[in-house]
A and B are shown apart, each in its own frame.
Chain A
Amino acid sequence: MRCQASGKHSLRLVTANSRPLLAFLGLLRFPKSEMVPAHFQSPVLSVAAVFKNYGARCVLDDVSFVVGAGERVALTGPSGSGKTTLLNCLGGVDRPNAGTISIRGAPVHALDSMALTRLRRMEIGTIFQFFHLLPTLTAAENIEIPLQLIAVPAAERAARVAAALQRVGLSSRATALPGQLSGGEQQRVAIARALVHRPGLVLADEPTGNLDSANGANILALLRELSDETGTALVLVTHSEEAAAICHRRIHLRDGRIVAC
């Protein structure tokens, strides 16, 4: 067992592995597998020596990788391998016990609640397996929310929402409530919502997991196109080979450790 059972946010020197401390101090050089590929310069996301425990159970064990701007990375692995926990840590809804995570240089692991909220508003878009549109807001209103959170003026908001709807092919469904949309349509709205504020990083958790294969393929194509168009980095948690195939890289987790990259 190499995983640390440390307290929240604390770091311990472990004789078997001193990488967390080194990473924290910025003294650790990333190994080759953890470096940004040459054609994706300027890293958007840096994960270094992240550990996460739930009690005695180690969920993430010394996870390190970097994602560059416009890069698509698939996080794969069997159930319980730590994919969703890692995604939650990347999005700041959960915190690692040790290690560092930075998005465009901002240390996610060390930010207070308010700063983390600001970072999420500005730099992160999230796509869920079950879409999670706000059920009482229309498609357009759902897409508008991230813009409103970063205080985009109303006229500009309207224009960007209209453009986003057009881009995902749902201009005619702008006033529909989520309950009136099909699964594929809901996921398109969710993608538009995740990208409308032009974040640096989109986190997608099984975005096709709740769709049939035809709709799934359409969504994946849309994600690839939008990522290419906007230069947004994408971290995609998936079991699906088709989904992993749209990514530039694949990081495979097993028992909380990266086993292939």
Chain B
Amino acid sequence: MNGSVISLLLQRFSLRHARLAPRASFLLVGILALGVAVFVAIRLANRAAVSSFTHFTDTLTGQSDLIVQAPSGTLPESVLGEIRAALGARPVHIVPVIEATAAQSQAPGEAAGFGRTTFTLLGVDLLTLANLASQSNLDRGYFDQQQDVGGRGARGNEAGAGDFWRAYAAGPQVWVSAAFAAARPETLDLVIDERVLTLRVAGLIPTAKDAPRVPATLLVLDLPHLQQLTGKTGRVDRVEFLVEPGPRAPERRTEVQTLLEELGRDRWLVTTPSERRESAEMMTRAFRLNLTILSLIALLVGLYLIFQALDGAVVRRRTEIAILRSLGVEERAIQLAWLAEAAVLGLCGGALGVGLGWIGAQGAVRAVGQTVNALYYATTVEAASLEPGELGLGLALGLGASLLAGWWPARLAARTPPAQVLPRGAPPAAGGRWQQSLACGAVAVVLGFVLAQLPPLLLGGGGRFALAGYAAAFFWIFGGGLMCGWLLPLIANTARSLGAVWVPARIALSHLRRPSGRHRLSVAALHCAVGMAAGMAILVASFELTVRGWIVRSLQADLYIASAGAQSASTDNFISAVAADRIAAHPAVAAAARFTAYPLSLDGIPTLFTGTDLALMHARSDLPWVTPPRDPALWDVSGNARLALVSEAFSERFGKKMGDILRVPTPAGVQVLTIAGIFADYGNERGSIMVDRAHLLAWLGDDRVTNVSLWLKPGVDADSIRSKLRVQFPGLAIFTNVKLRAEILRIFRQTFAITYALEVIAVLVAVVGLALTLTSVLLDRREELTTLRALGFARQELAGAAALEGGVVAVAAVAGGLVLSVALGWLLIYVINKQSFGWTLGFALPWAQLLALALAVVSTGVGVSYAVGWWGADLPADREQ
């Protein structure tokens, strides 16, 4: 076959048609671009949110060869001597590190809440670093500040080391990033634990030319200062090891790792920076995958529209193709030319989609960042960048989707007979016989049901992905789409009597009694969009119902107190034992429950190790139990040292049930605990182990608390006590019961904001699809329209017929979509959510929302169809041209 024939066909026919109908061409490119854009935007936002964290990890630990840290809590400084002695004369540098988080203090008048910028405070021994720098010609920037901070004059060469020592001796100082220095700070007000501290900015964090850019929210302090500020005097969060470079460095690294692992068995974990980074990526993998799959819906619906547009073009250009065939153009050439047209469309849509996606990502990144912040770890990303790989992916996606959608129309075009044998009459319906197969739809639905029973895919690091669940959703959407095409003749026959009183109805319903493949496809696409949107609404409503119930049961204290610095799921802010005791001793307080939570790595999987006064909790509060405890010893501190409660998410992630044994590593050795009960906790998806706080304190050697719950004496006004405590402890965030409940629900809704945005886009694309369907249908029926006009149909009657036709398509899609949504709601709640996050949710149907969605889709469908019908009524018929 001659390639020039395809080129000729593309230039003289396909592209010429596109030029002759520029609006239609732009619309198609726009729809494809929208689908690609949604996917690219979510992908870029996901990447940005994760890379922000991994960038931090790289900055903090990227230079190290090995890291030693406690499985939970901190390590005593005494381990440094022990390790140095064990390493002997090996050329390895030991760098103890304290890491903490802090939030910028609340501005006057600013309401208490979560989500403010979180800074990471890194405490390193600057003297050790200085020695290290002078030994190995590393950057001595701490001492020889080359840059000025905020343009306040150079602290540079002329001042040099003298300035550093003066600053060092003056007490706690912070060194800031160049990005942060641009804001010209002289001092910084930070909430660290319960205190608000004003720290002077001493200079810039030095960076080597080839080192990663220092994150804007990183602050560096001298180790002893940060130990003192965070109440970790005599303790370190981790110890980093730098092996001297040289030809034997890899061997030494392995040797040191083995030595450290043997030395610290059960007391600490030995990891590498890359493992730390992977751990962060794995933590959010399920979340990002879920979001990516949602973002693909718009592309799928867009793909269907491309299919429909190309298929409509085959019908419209049937005569032209038949003439080409008569002139000797081969079937294959026509097929390839059609695919080439799809490819051009795909490339244009892909390129535009990448651009739009990048713009959309700037908005999405905030929403994704907020969710990551609330559920996983602090991320400070504000902008998403576009890289060549993403550009290529967007183009490939547009091209792939377009070629996939164009395959069937290309085949249809190639099979057009030559003009000599082309029958005059109605064009063939789009799609194959399978579209009309009820059995095919039923098989897909059954297959989906089978898939819904399968377990999740294990991602490593405790991550689980509900692959089979998503596949089940796909099969239900596909099967439901096939089956709901059958609603069209059902509705048309039921409403048949309408045709006797309103003549446009007779025309419209007659078409729907024998719906074309195009009608069925349109119903399927709209059904998919409605089903997904309504399914998501059911999930969110169920989630909200469950969370509300959980809040009511578990939040029963009058006041809740935490450090105002605790702004994300990974913040490391505590309240000192002294402050907690002072709060508990307030005369208005009847009872105070202290709660402590530490990150814990159990079998390499991140989770939380928490402690509270179980007896008090039993007496005053009511945990929502999944499996309630039966052993009364659990509530007595003298008998519960070997008992633990676990959250449902923990139980799912680690596969642990009631009565199972846990071996929890602590600085005081491995603790063997028996699971005595499983409770629901929708606050984190990493899961948690809860023990009596008295034992946790003994095992971890840390008396600080994460938060305090207060029950006030009868008749005491919670708001007035809150105000008094706020004055006494300005660094604490104090919530009344009502305010905390509202704040939790606000974060909850914010988490689903991006999901809603994606669903709205999918529904909009599907409604545009309905308009395109009717446009194609009316173009196919040009001669019929002329006949109807000749018979005396008025324009508004033709538009009315189109509106009814579109309306019935929308009604069928909404009816099928709502049934699908209930099925998807069930799947999302009981399979996908359970497998991904380990949470059991109740089931709620948000009737008002579903009704609003149904009315919106049907009325939009009717309106859009009327407009298309109005336009179509004026179409010139072929025979008139």
Q: List A residues at the B interface (Cβ < 8 Å).
A: 88, 91, 93-94, 113-114, 117-118, 120-122, 124, 126, 128, 130, 132, 134-137, 141, 145-146, 148-150, 154, 193
Contact = CB atoms under 8 A, between A and B. Distances in A.
B382 interface: no
Contacts of B880: 88, 93-94
B836 to A, nearest CB: 48
A154 B792 contact: no
Given A134-B507, A141-B510, 5 more contacts: A117-B789, A128-B787, A132-B787, A134-B784, A134-B787
Contact of A145 (B503, B513, B789, B879): B503
A118 B791 CA distance: 10
Contact of A136 (B500, B514, B786, B793): B514
B791 A146 contact: yes
Given A114-B794, A135-B784, A154-B500, A93 B510 contact: no
B792 A120 contact: yes
Nearest to A134: B784
A141 B506 contact: yes
B790 A126 contact: yes
Contacts of B514: 136
A132 B783 contact: yes
Contacts of A148: 500, 503, 506
A103 B792 CA distance: 15
A93 B789 contact: yes
The 9 nearest A-B residue pairs measured at CB: A121-B792, A136-B510, A120-B792, A132-B787, A126-B790, A117-B794, A148-B503, A149-B792, A137-B510
Contacts of A113: 794-795
Interface string B764-786: 00000000000000000001101
A88 B879 CA distance: 11
B526 to A, nearest CB: 22
A118 B514 CA distance: 30
A145 B790 contact: no
Contact of B791 (A94, A141, A149): A149
A88 B795 CA distance: 17
A94 to B, nearest CB: 7
B630 interface: no
A50 to B, nearest CB: 17
Interface centre among B511, B788, B790, B794 (most CB of A within 10 A): B790
Interface string B422-444: 00101000000000000000000
Given A93-B880, A134-B510, A120 B426 contact: no
Interface string B487-508: 0000000000000100100110
Contacts of A126: 787, 790-791
B510 to A, nearest CB: 4
Contacts of B788: 134
Contacts of B426: 135
Nearest to A154: B500
B818 to A, nearest CB: 28
A209 B641 CA distance: 100
A120 B506 contact: no
Nearest to B503: A148
Contacts of B506: 137, 141, 145, 148
Contact of A132 (B503, B784, B792, B793): B784
A136 B794 contact: no
Interface of B: 424, 426, 500, 503, 506-507, 510-511, 513-514, 783-784, 786-795, 879-880
B791 A93 contact: no
B290 to A, nearest CB: 44
Contacts of B510: 134, 136-137, 141
Contacts of B513: 136
Nearest to A135: B426
Contact of B790 (A114, A120, A130): A120
A183 B507 CA distance: 22
Nearest to B795: A113
Interface centre among B500, B510, B792, B880 (most CB of A within 10 A): B792
B792 A117 contact: yes
A52 B788 CA distance: 24
Contacts of A94: 880
A155 B783 CA distance: 30
Interface centre among B514, B786, B787 (most CB of A within 10 A): B787
B873 to A, nearest CB: 10
A176 B783 CA distance: 21
Contacts of B507: 134, 136-137
B787 A117 contact: no
A154 B503 CA distance: 12
B732 to A, nearest CB: 74
A150 B514 CA distance: 27
7 contacts: A113-B795, A118-B792, A128-B787, A134-B507, A136-B514, A137-B506, A148-B506
Interface centre among A122, A137, A150 (most CB of B within 10 A): A137
B791 A145 contact: yes
Contact of B424 (A130, A137, A150): A130
A60 to B, nearest CB: 15
B295 to A, nearest CB: 40
B790 A117 contact: no
Nearest to B509: A136
A217 B514 CA distance: 34
Contacts of A130: 424, 783, 879
Contacts of A88: 880
A96 to B, nearest CB: 15
Contacts of B790: 91, 93, 120, 124, 126, 128
Nearest to A149: B792
Contacts of B503: 145, 148-149
A69 B514 CA distance: 41
A24 to B, nearest CB: 26
Contacts of A149: 503, 791-793
Nearest to B874: A113
A235 B788 CA distance: 20
A114 B794 CA distance: 7
Contacts of A145: 503, 506, 791
Nearest to B508: A136
A43 B514 CA distance: 44
Contacts of B511: 136
Nearest to A128: B787
Contacts of A146: 791-792
B227 to A, nearest CB: 83
A53 to B, nearest CB: 16
A136 B801 CA distance: 14
B805 to A, nearest CB: 11
A13 to B, nearest CB: 31
Nearest to A136: B510
Contacts of A91: 790
Contacts of A121: 791-792
A93 B789 CA distance: 8
Contacts of B789: 93, 117, 120
A114 B797 CA distance: 11
A254 B786 CA distance: 26
Contacts of B794: 113-114, 117
B784 A117 contact: no
Interface centre among B500, B506, B791 (most CB of A within 10 A): B791
A132 B793 CA distance: 15
Contacts of A132: 783-784, 786-787
A246 to B, nearest CB: 22
Contacts of B795: 113, 117
A134 B790 CA distance: 12
B511 to A, nearest CB: 5
B790 to A, nearest CB: 4
A148 B426 CA distance: 25
A236 B536 CA distance: 62
A118 B507 CA distance: 19
A95 B506 CA distance: 29
Contacts of B784: 132, 134-135
Nearest to A129: B879
